[in-house]
Structure 1
């Protein structure tokens, strides 16, 4: 079966500036490839219903767009063909020198690997899209694809591509859902509208936004333990 994965990140600056935030969050939306057009049409209808014309982004949540984003939350949780996975990294626990050659960009893509690898299943094909960012090492995306293929011998990573978020609804959805997690975990939300959207997500979850069991398939949050132990 063919799957598409759309990824985005929030607060990557914490890997080189520990005062910026406490957590780095990476998020991903997973859909069957043959669901893409249905997703685009459904989002188009929700946008039209609520007269929303902007790109879908957590930073665009406002009182005037509340009903649109509330409808988007409802659509996500009521649609079986969309799944979401995020990882949370506590920045001050990252040993950049010991494990990442003192290279924050390398550590960033290692965490991307952790986001993706554990949901890649045998005998499937995967097409992965990442929000475009400028890298010092131009081989980062290529290397991520190679490492994922080496670690998943019975599946095929057909493509890992960086594209601007405005071109892909999946990346926009990832930005929105991941932004809610980032806001909750880093505790810096002052907007009452964003707080209400987080409440809507938590009502659908039936619990607060937090790390979930590994087996959670709809809205999975993995908080990496960087201190070892059991």
Structure 2
């Protein structure tokens, strides 16, 4: 079966910042059967028309005036059940040791990208992966990540990994929105009574649980809080 994955990241500056403002760097991914892409994009377009909201969909753009539109996007995500899944990884910068990646923070970042993708790749499937465009010091980071994923998943096929501007890819924008919700809860950045808090609570009501770190078997809205300290 053919799948598509749309990825974004939140607080990537934490690996290098001298004065971090939050604890967790996060990478998120939206997973769907490729055959659903056109239908899903059409439904998002219809929601734009209904609510007269245009421009890029982003967590930072959630406001009181656009709250009903963003709630409708959450309802759309929920309506597909496990056909549409979100998975993210939360990395506590306090646990990150540059020695694990030869003092190369960029390499460390892509090792975590590997972690968020590898564990949801299943045998006999094909995957196209789309990531938000970012400037890399090493130009072959994405091709190396693709090779590593293929080498680790011999019975599956990662056909492509592409880095694209998020403003051109609405499903990367959707991933940004869901990742923003995950990050806001993990990093405790919500202001009481704000539109963003109301949106997070809307998703939590649909999930029947608080947003937070989950077990591996959670398929709909998964947050993997990786433990870099070792242990069981």
Q: Deviations over 1:2-52 (max 9, x none)?
A: 000000000000011153221001100001111110011110111111111
Which residue is equivalent to 1:203?
205
Shift of 1:114: 0.2
The aligned runs of 1:88-167 (5 Å cut-off) are: 88-97=90-99, 99-167=100-168
Q: Would the aligned equivalents of 1:84 and 1:220 in 2 still touch at CA under 8 Å?
A: yes
The whole-number CA distance in structure 1 between the counterparts of 2:34 and 2:19 is 40
The aligned runs of 1:72-91 (5 Å cut-off) are: 72-80=73-81, 81-91=83-93
The aligned runs of 1:1-230 (5 Å cut-off) are: 1-17=1-17, 19-20=19-20, 21-80=22-81, 81-97=83-99, 99-190=100-191, 192-230=194-232
Aligned-partner SS, 1:13: helix
Shift of 1:96: 0.9
Structure 1 residue ranges without an equivalent (≥5): none
Aligned-partner SS, 1:36: helix
The whole-number CA distance in structure 1 between the counterparts of 2:113 and 2:77 is 23
TM-score norm. by structure 2 comes to 0.96
Runs of 4+ in 1 over 3 A off after TM superposition: none
Structure 2 residue ranges without an equivalent (≥5): none
Q: Would the aligned equivalents of 1:18 and 1:91 in 2 still touch at CA under 8 Å?
A: no
Shift of 1:141: 0.5
Higher mean C-alpha displacement, 199-208 vs 24-33 = 199-208
User: Structure 1 residues 119, 18: CA separation in 2 closer, same or farther (over 3 Å shift)?
Assistant: farther
What is the RMSD of the two structures over their aligned residues, measured on CA atoms? 1.0
Aligned-partner SS, 2:112: helix
Q: Deviations over 1:182-222 (max 9, x none)?
A: 11111223370001001111111211111111111111111
Q: Would the aligned equivalents of 1:18 and 1:92 in 2 still touch at CA under 8 Å?
A: no
The whole-number CA distance in structure 1 between the counterparts of 2:34 and 2:168 is 16
The whole-number CA distance in structure 1 between the counterparts of 2:160 and 2:98 is 28
Aligned residues: 229
Aligned-partner SS, 1:226: coil
Aligned-partner SS, 2:155: coil
